[in-house]
């Protein structure tokens, strides 16, 4: 898929470069605008650089693994933000989640690991005996 996107990007950038040249060669003179050749070169090189940076950025974004749904949370680690008695709030992947402890009550700052889900609530257990500061 990346090879096809690369070929499409090269072809589309080449067509854009041709369009820039056509506008410089015939469009601007029709309007009485005279742009020096070195400005055309700078614009075309800038456009190629912009296209390459954009391609690399988009390719990296498309390759990133998508995180979808609560089942992907199982095994994630986090910490308690509101005491679990047995329900409270935890922070996992920098997100605040409602959670329920299956073992015991937990204080703020304790490490937890997600072991399941119950509707939109995470089911967690203690991950370690020490607090995160």
pLDDT band at 132 (very low <50, low <70, confident <90, very high): very low
pLDDT at 110 over 70: yes
**Percent of the chain, pLDDT > 70?**
92
Counts for the chain of helices (H) and strands (E), in that order = 3, 5
Cβ-based neighbour number of residue 82 at 10 Å: 16
The whole-model pTM stands at: 0.53
Per the model's pLDDT, the better-predicted residue between 65 and 74 turns out to be 74
Average pLDDT over residues 47-53: 97
CA distance 81 to 83: 7
More reliable by pLDDT, 77 or 64: 77
> For position 9, what pLDDT does the model report?
96
Q: Which of 122, 87, 119, 116 minimizes the C-alpha distance to 104? A: 87
Give the CB-side neighbour count of residue 73, counting CA atoms within 13 A. 26
Binning pLDDT at 50, 70 and 90, where does residue 21 land?
Answer: very high
pLDDT, the chain, mean: 90
Average pLDDT estimate for 92-108:
91
User: Which one-letter DSSP state was computed for residue 120?
Assistant: T
């Amino acid at each position: 898929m990346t090879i096809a996107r690369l070929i499409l990007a090269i072809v589309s950038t080449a067509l854009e470069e041709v369009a820039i040249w056509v506008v410089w060669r015939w469009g601007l003179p029709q309007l009485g605008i005279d742009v020096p050749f070195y400005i055309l070169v700078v614009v075309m090189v800038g456009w190629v650089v912009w296209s390459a940076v954009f391609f690399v950025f988009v390719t990296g974004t498309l390759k990133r693994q998508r995180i979808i749904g609560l089942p992907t949370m199982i095994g994630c680690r986090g910490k308690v933000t509101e005491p679990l008695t047995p329900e409270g709030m935890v922070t996992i992947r920098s997100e605040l989640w409602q959670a329920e402890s299956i073992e015991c009550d937990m204080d703020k700052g304790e490490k937890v690991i997600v072991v399941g889900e119950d509707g939109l609530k995470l089911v967690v257990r203690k991950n370690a005996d020490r607090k995160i500061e």
